Amino acid sequence: MTGFPRYAIYYAAGCDSALSRFGAELLGYDAYTGDELPFPQQALHVAPDWREVSADPRKYGFHATLKAPMALAPGKTEAVLLAVCQAFAGKTRPIPTIRPVIDAISGFIAVIPAEPVEALQRLAADCVREFDPFRAPLTAEDRARRKPEKLSERQRDYLDRWGYPYVMEEFRFHMTLTGRLDAERRGPILQMLRTRFAALGIETLAVDRIALFRQDDAKARFRIIDEWALVR
């Protein structure tokens, strides 16, 4: 079994941001506070089973992955990981800015960039590389869970090298709002989410911080334990 606790380096939009509130309400869970939240009536109207529709992303909290969940390697500690997160955030770098939209990606619905942003790809790649020394090696069970037989050769190579197949050129920024949906269900839900998102008036989004999430055990949800603003 995968070791616990597990940690992940994610982008989260800030506890007071409209985007974070949007995501937390739809998932019914606030990863900043650990609170359960009531689902919006609009979501329940379109999908009475919204709790099931949003079950998968709820476990992780509203986020975009930069370094995928990992157990700590032998000799590594949470205190040192926190210090390295702070040091990483303190390095001067271009701050990626995206034009966020709601769309389907691999069968689920998420906030994604309307077009590729090179600085965002670099930020994600930097996170993968710099935090990899903290990652415990994949177990055979971990690797099998990723279904390597369904991955491309490059994705399998990345899985074995970095513990996660969707890194480097394979990385796609996404802040997930639903589990996988059949095509016939996706349309009405996509429209509802686009309507709610449009009401926020977010035309651009700066990916200007990183957050450290922790999952204490297999049944626990991920929760934010600290976050850091990136230095421009």
User: Under a CB-based contact definition with an 8 Å cutoff, are residues 27 and 61 in contact?
Assistant: yes
Q: Above 90 in pLDDT, residue 1?
A: no
d(CA 209, CA 12): 7
Pick the range with the lowest mean pLDDT from 110-114, 140-144, 153-157: 140-144
pLDDT tens sequence across 13-46: 999 999 999 999 999 999 999 999 999 999 999 9
SS3 state of residue 173: coil
- pTM attached to this predicted model: 0.96
Q: How far are the Cα atoms of 119, 125, 229 from residue 211, in angstroms, in the given order?
A: 18, 16, 9
- Model pLDDT, residue 147: 92
pLDDT tens sequence across 143-166: 999 999 999 999 999 999 999 999
Q: Above 80 in pLDDT, residue 2?
A: no
Superfamily of domain 6-229: Cyclic phosphodiesterase (3.90.1140.10)
5: buried, middle or exposed (CB in 10 Å: 19+, 13-18, 0-12)? middle
Name, in order, each residue with C-beta under 8 angstroms of 79's C-beta and a sequence gap of 6 or more. none
Q: Above 70 in pLDDT, residue 67?
A: yes
pLDDT tens sequence across 215-231: 999 999 999 999 999 99
